[in-house]
Amino acid sequence: DTGVSQDPRHKITKRGQNVTFRCDPISEHNRLYWYRQTLGQGPEFLTYFQNEAQLEKSRLLSDRFSAERPKGSFSTLEIQRTEQGDSAMYLCASSLRGAGEEKLFFGSGTQLSVL
């Protein structure tokens, strides 16, 4: 079991640039979640997929954010025209729907710093 993998671990970018993060879930997991965490706060839900279908998006996810899971395996989260307020830890998690109680397994996150 290789766990949930996220790439890159750290990203520093200038305001206005676009960034893309990748998440590889646990292989047999059909659900994939994106969360964002800022200092002193708990993880905040952004969006989630069941297989390739995006089932829910948070109001936190402005139109500058887009997430995809094209083949129901890995997922990407893109932020366009980054702003300083986008600086945060972006966490990906996966779970197996139908396995009983929903337990999310998290990756180590991508730390984004927007200068």
Partner 1 sequence: DQQVKQNSPSLSVQEGRISILNCDYTNSMFDYFLWYKKYPAEGPTFLISISSIKDKNEDGRFTVFLNKSAKHLSLHIVPSQPGDSAVYFCAASGDTDKLIFGTGTRLQVFP
Q: Write out the residues near partner 1 by the rule CB under 8 A.
A: 4, 6, 31, 33, 35, 40-45, 48, 56, 91, 93, 97, 101-109, 111
CA end-to-end distance (rounded Å), the chain: 36
Residues 6+ apart with CB under 8 A from 39: none
> How far apart are CB 81 and partner 1 at their closest, in Å?
27
> How far apart are CB 48 and partner 1 at their closest, in Å?
6
* Nearer Cβ to partner 1 (17/41): 41
> How far apart are CB 16 and partner 1 at their closest, in Å?
27
C-beta of residue 80 within 8 angstroms of C-beta of residue 19: no
* Nearer Cβ to partner 1 (72/105): 105
Beta 53-57 vs 65-68: how paired, if at all?
A: unpaired
- Respond yes or no on whether the N-terminal peptide bond of residue 25 is cis (omega within 30° of 0): no
* Nearer Cβ to partner 1 (82/94): 94
Region of 16 (left: φ > 0; alpha: ψ -120 to 50; beta: rest) is: left
> How far apart are CB 84 and partner 1 at their closest, in Å?
21
